[in-house]
């Protein structure tokens, strides 16, 4: 009799486990915040020029995403050998010149994994639409360097970099530079600004979904318990 009782309890436990596995199979997983990828990066700095009163610019990059992406941060070029002494306004515009997001990058901003850009996370991420044209502009300042012809330069797969442009100014403005190209930014660009993106935002189940799952499993356990007693 004791052996039969143990077998029944084991069977109940097995059914409960199978029920839990089945429920989780159709239940939305709690997604961790996915890592943010930079739009473009390189393995090592090629050449640099340091700004001054006569050499300060707003550098723009013109690009289009090949799928919808969520922009999480804006960044600016950083040379760890020289540091960053000035503030660098960065902004993203649509093709008509409407500003979509902006941030100011300083030495207190966070470094990316390759340590070639410093960035600030956006309080409100923005979505860029596949096939639309955008411009990201960044001010060089009068004292920090910018780079070009960088080794191992790559652009992330969901982004097509159309080229770059630049406007000579006092180095403190990230005003819209337009979509016209005067710099081969695809392979030899002057940097300049960068941004980080996610291909899709993370999804998290609502608390009511957790409650529904728990209630269902509790009901299953109660049903099996009644059958066992009978």
The pLDDT tens digits for 135-184 are: 999 999 989 998 888 888 899 999 999 999 999 888 889 999 999 998 86
Q: Are residues 210 and 183 in the same domain?
A: no
Under the banding of pLDDT at 50, 70 and 90, the label for residue 8 is low
User: In which domain, by residue range, is 136 found?
Assistant: 37-198
The pLDDT tens digits for 12-29 are: 445 444 444 444 444 443
Under the banding of pLDDT at 50, 70 and 90, the label for residue 217 is low
CA Rg value for the chain: 27
Q: Are residues 138 and 215 in the same domain?
A: no
The total number of structural domains in the chain stands at 2
Q: Measured in whole angstroms, how far is the alpha carbon of residue 164 from the centre of its chain?
A: 21
3-state class of 108 per DSSP? coil
pLDDT for 33 equals: 37
Cα dihedral 63, 201, 73, 173, rounded to 10, equals 50
Under the banding of pLDDT at 50, 70 and 90, the label for residue 67 is very high
Which range (74-83, 86-95, 120-129, 185-194) has the least confidence? 185-194
Q: Is the pTM here over 0.75, yes or no? A: no
- Which range of 83-87, 185-189, 202-206 scores highest in mean pLDDT? It is 83-87
Q: Are residues 18 and 120 in the same domain?
A: no
Q: Are residues 89 and 145 in the same domain?
A: yes
Q: Which residues fall within 8 angstroms of residue 28, CB to CB, at 6 or more apart?
A: 203, 205, 209
């Amino acid at each position: 009799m004791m052996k039969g009782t143990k077998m029944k309890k084991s069977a109940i436990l097995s059914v409960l486990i199978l029920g839990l596995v089945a429920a989780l199979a159709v239940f939305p997983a709690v997604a961790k915040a996915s890592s943010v990828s930079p739009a473009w990066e390189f393995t090592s700095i090629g050449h640099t020029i340091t700004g001054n009163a006569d050499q300060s610019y707003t550098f723009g990059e013109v690009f289009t995403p090949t799928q919808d992406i969520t922009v999480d941060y804006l960044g600016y070029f950083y040379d760890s050998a020289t540091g960053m002494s000035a503030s660098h306004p960065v902004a993203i515009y649509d093709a008509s010149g409407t500003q979509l997001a902006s941030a100011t990058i300083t030495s207190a901003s966070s470094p990316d994994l390759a340590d070639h850009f410093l960035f600030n996370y956006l309080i409100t991420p923005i979505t860029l639409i596949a096939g639309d044209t955008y411009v990201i502009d960044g001010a060089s300042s009068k004292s920090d360097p910018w780079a070009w012809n960088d080794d191992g330069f790559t652009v992330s797969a969901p982004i097509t970099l159309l080229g770059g442009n630049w406007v000579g100014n006092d180095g403190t403005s990230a005003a819209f530079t337009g979509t016209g190209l005067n710099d081969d930014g695809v392979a030899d660009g002057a940097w300049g600004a960068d941004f980080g993106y996610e291909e899709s935002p993370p999804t998290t189940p609502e608390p009511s979904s957790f409650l529904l799952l728990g209630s269902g499993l509790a009901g299953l356990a109660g049903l099996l318990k009644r059958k066992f007693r009978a």
